[in-house]
Structure 1
């Protein structure tokens, strides 16, 4: 019997693989050139660099500080150029195009409407502009031969007092491009329990929501997000590793909270590159996602902020393939996990898995097997 060779994917195969993204911030994924152009159009003069290449480098270096608070400061510049309808439409359309070009077939992209009101837009106008941009980006992607569907998550800010208003907005635009609600911002000092009225409202409306938790702050933030607020998913959730003990003999012991998260199949929106930047993990090889995948948690792979991390879904998977020797089977496992955890109806999730994701990976695996067979046959022929 011939032993099976692990189907380690190449960078090109990873790019072509149908990927699913659940945690991506619209204001964290702008093209540097777009920021420069929008700044010129709107008269924003506070950019640290006006050369797109240098500006991209500045964002990555400024974000690579090991501090979540410093990381969040970089968003002042991106939000500053996202204050008009045209700017929001452009940024959203380019986001859809960029993700589709990277092989993402489904994405949930989040943004905080309250951060785009400085030029006089209303909350409703912000949502409608972003939705228009996503639809335009999907259309352009189709014209380029790519398939993508994007749902918006409306985000409230932990330090502000508009969570209920944003939750009501998310419910109002439900089925009109918005698929759920999120709450974000610095965790320390701003627990999600400050906004229980928003979460209670969403639960009464049978709506979906995720909460940034377990990133800069530890297990208490995860516990609050789940048990007090009732989150469907955890944004990051990387600190659940603090409730998992690896014993000297290699066995693993889960604490009560970690067991609950795994047993309930609560999705973890993990963002490896971002976690390294904010100090939540020391390296890709040491990132908790390796152990969580081995223990069959509902782990997913995400970008968080593509501009600040200089990343993409393909790059995130390339790092994990290198760190953990992942195969196409592993990449598919993460992608199916994410699609199962999306905030669209079950039948639509199932269709994406069965009609798009699984066939896409089957094709890549067949290509890989053909290449390996051809390579082996060639080697044998050379020595015949």
Structure 2
């Protein structure tokens, strides 16, 4: 059988993409940070866009999630007014669409954006306006993207019930479609916020939970049981619940995986199609994975888990969906069919309604993917 050629950057850029895990405060344009920092007197580590962008990547490339999170001090500092939140959200949508993204969920923590006098509700409304403005700008240019927001609570803080109530109050408004907890994972299990998760579960609001990035299987299990998670933010360390020889764990072909034993938590995640929001470059930066080639995403994909590809923080990782996919193509031997499969998985696991997901797949994902495939056949 002939091995399919490695997808090119141009082919991947043209592919329709769905991103479920992209932080609003982790995707700012460096030039925007400079322009927003100057009037408020916030001191930045560089004074031109190119150097600033490079600083974020270098600072985040530390091998430590804690140090990685420190880079957000600068982005959050310039996102404290309604105008700045609108701008950042608008530009995020435009940038994602330019990369071929047709559906994006932007997650962010309103509790971190109140220093300028905004209320939680005003902050949510500002981001909602920015997302809508971005969508309209893309439509005016002849494109199409759907952008929604996930309201996030910080797991090391004590406002999760308040943020859950905020999410419930805005369900279906201002682009709000779900809830998340983020921040330092180790030592802050989702069960610490069980009251908030119970409130959301009773209110029929879906939750994704950061788990399996800086902590292991126990954190993932807690996200599923106490957090009622229907998706897992990262979830890469679910691989620790899969047992087998070291040689078998390195193999990628489906026929070579029979030696592996899937543990109970991993089986639950796989059997119930709980989507894994995997972020290869970010996981390498925070030492969750050694490299993109050795990232568990390929093993998990071949074992039948509901794998999705995401950017996490485009600024801190100096990345895009195109770059993430191209890295998987060149370093982990992914082909076009793999990218279409994970994109469909992401689309069907979006937090919008079923009819909207069906329309997303039928009108935005499949037609554009078909064009790329047909162009490849014609070469």
Tell me the TM-score normalized by structure 1: 0.94
Residue 273 of structure 1: aligned partner = 281
Is 2:86 aligned against 1:78?
no
RMSD: 1.1
Residue 53 of structure 2: aligned partner = 56
Alpha-carbon distance between aligned partners in 1 of 2:73 and 2:129, rounded to the nearest angstrom: 24
Residue 194 of structure 1: aligned partner = 192
Residue 297 of structure 2: aligned partner = 289
Bigger CA drift: 117-126 or 5-14? 5-14
Bigger CA drift: 230-239 or 142-151? 142-151
Q: Note the C-alpha offset of 1:145.
A: 2.4
Larger Rg: 1
Residue 380 of structure 1: aligned partner = none
Corresponding residue to 1:339 among 337, 341, 347: 347
Is 2:31 aligned against 1:23?
no
Alpha-carbon distance between aligned partners in 2 of 1:193 and 1:132, rounded to the nearest angstrom: 33
Residue 204 of structure 1: aligned partner = 202
> How many residues matched?
368
Alpha-carbon distance between aligned partners in 2 of 1:132 and 1:260, rounded to the nearest angstrom: 38
SS of residue in 2 equivalent to 1:269? strand
Tell me, yes or no, if the aligned pair for 2:153 and 2:182 is still in contact at 8 Å.
yes
Alpha-carbon distance between aligned partners in 2 of 1:295 and 1:178, rounded to the nearest angstrom: 33
Is 2:324 aligned against 1:326?
no
Q: Which digits, 9 at most, give the CA deviation of each residue in 1:299-340, with x for residues without a partner?
A: 100000000000000000000011222111111001001011
Q: Note the C-alpha offset of 1:41.
A: 2.2
Which residues of structure 1 form unaligned runs of 5+?
372-384
Residue 179 of structure 2: aligned partner = 181
Alpha-carbon distance between aligned partners in 2 of 1:362 and 1:189, rounded to the nearest angstrom: 46
Q: Note the C-alpha offset of 1:7.
A: 5.2
Q: Note the C-alpha offset of 1:43.
A: 2.2
Residue 377 of structure 1: aligned partner = none
Corresponding residue to 1:370 among 350, 363, 378: 378
Tell me, yes or no, if the aligned pair for 1:110 and 1:182 is still in contact at 8 Å.
yes
Tell me the TM-score normalized by structure 2: 0.95
Which residues of structure 2 form unaligned runs of 5+?
249-255
Q: Which digits, 9 at most, give the CA deviation of each residue in 1:248-274, with x for residues without a partner?
A: 564221111111111111100000000
SS of residue in 2 equivalent to 1:65? coil
